[in-house]
Amino acid sequence: MFHTLLVPLDGSESSEHCLPLARAIARASSSSVHLVEVHAPAVPGPLLSSTQFDYQGLDMEAYAERHREEMGAHLAPIAESFEGEGITASAAVLEGRVVDQLAEHAESVGADLIVMTTHGRSGASRMWLGSVADGLVRHTHIPIIMSRVGHERRLPAGLDDIRHILVPLDGSDLGERILEPAAALAHISGARLTLLHVVASHAALGGGVVPLLPDDIVRLNDQADAYLEGVAERLREDGLSVATHLAEGEGAANMIAAMADELEADLIALATHGHGGLRRAMIGSVADKVLRSSPLPLMVLRPDSGA
């Protein structure tokens, strides 16, 4: 179960699209919420000395302090709105490099879930692209629920919008680390889980790819089916509704996105990498491609291989 949520914002309206879901998760799990913005100070370069700003005596520190105060003023009423709903909330303006500060703050407050949108534009025309979310995935071992705002994006307004979670697995212990946060989300939302494994119909050989023989595909399907059923049974013993699904094809990200659409999932949960007996490795690029190719929100976790 979740206890502490970190919600990064950047002052833009689009970055706040994650707030309804963060509220819903916090209420359902009695979690505290830490709202944060990061002030990344601009370092004047040589060009500034030849501009009117220098001649007008611009006080860069005063300008930065004013910006920090504006961030605090933006966060305060949001935190108060959480508190008004009985949710313990705090607001903090951090200073420094965005990803580093968010990762450090997440660790310092003991966050066990990060909820965010992957981009937004602030008044200073500062854009959060996938780089911030990607950086957090690389710098933390905390599950992150992220949605990329854009055309035809399906942003959950609450837990009622998450009724079906698709969980791609690769047969590895590291890949299975996503199961704990995915199960926690399923418990508080009442969502059912579908465990997915993609069986490749081709294999790498001598720098190229060759189609697998029909007998090999049957064998791989049997192995994957037995594996998924074993994992599903463990989850069912925890009171969850769990189904399994096998898909055959090439390109893990494209297959995951296609299966999510076909199975009418509301959210995709996956680990960013893993190595195992079924020899399907999920790496960061797969999660990134799924986020960009599917309209669904994504729960992603980079497992700690030493845990």
Question: Which CATH number does the domain housing residue 279 bear?
Answer: 3.40.50.620
**28 in Cβ contact with 188 (< 8 Å):** yes
137 and 107 within one domain:
yes
If asked whether residues 143 and 171 sit together in one domain, one would say no
First CA to last CA distance, the chain: 19
Mean local confidence (pLDDT), 132-146:
89
Among the candidates 147, 178, 201, a domain finishes at 147
Q: pLDDT tens digit string along 188-201?
A: 999 999 999 988 76
Please give the residue range of the domain that contains residue 131: 4-147
Residue 175 pLDDT exceeds 70: yes
Which pTM was predicted? 0.84
| Residue 134 shares a structural domain with residue 175 | no
Statement to judge: residues 114 and 200 lie in one domain: no
Q: Model confidence at 55, in pLDDT bands (50, 70, 90)?
A: very low
Domains: count for the chain: 2
Query: What pLDDT shows up at residue 20?
Result: 94
Residue 31 in domain: yes
> What is the number of other CB atoms lying within 10 angstroms of the CB of residue 41?
14
Does residue 156 lie in a domain region?
no
Q: Mean pLDDT, to the nearest integer, of 204-210?
A: 54
Are residues 135 and 239 located together in one domain of the fold? no
Average pLDDT of the residues of the chain: 83
pLDDT tens, position by position, 1-30 = 899 999 999 888 888 999 999 999 999 999
The residue-averaged pLDDT of 136-156 equals 81
Note the pLDDT tens digit of each residue in 71-88.
889 999 999 999 999 999
| CA-CA-CA-CA dihedral for 125, 17, 133, 122, to nearest 10 | 10
Claim to verify: residue 103 and residue 46 sit in the same structural domain: yes
Best-predicted range by mean pLDDT among 99-108, 192-201, 242-251?
A: 99-108
Q: What is the pLDDT of residue 59?
A: 62
The stretch 39-64 carries a mean pLDDT of: 58
Give 223-253 as a DSSP string.
Answer: HHHHHHHHHHHHHHTTT--EEEEEEE-S-HH
Structural domain includes residue 153: no
Contacts with 113 (C-beta within 8 Å, 6 or more apart), sequence order: 2, 4, 5, 6, 25, 31, 142, 143, 144, 145, 181
Look up residue 218 and give its two tokens. 């049957």
Question: In terms of domains, do 207 and 139 share one?
Answer: no
Report how far residue 133's alpha carbon sits from residue 210's, in angstroms, rounded to the nearest whole number: 36
Residues 138 and 219 in one domain: no
On whether residue 61 sits in a domain, the answer given is yes
pLDDT bin (cut points 50, 70, 90) of residue 232 is: very high
Q: Are residues 176 and 139 in the same domain?
A: no
User: Which pLDDT value is given to residue 235?
Assistant: 98
Give, as one character, the DSSP assignment of residue 172.
Answer: S
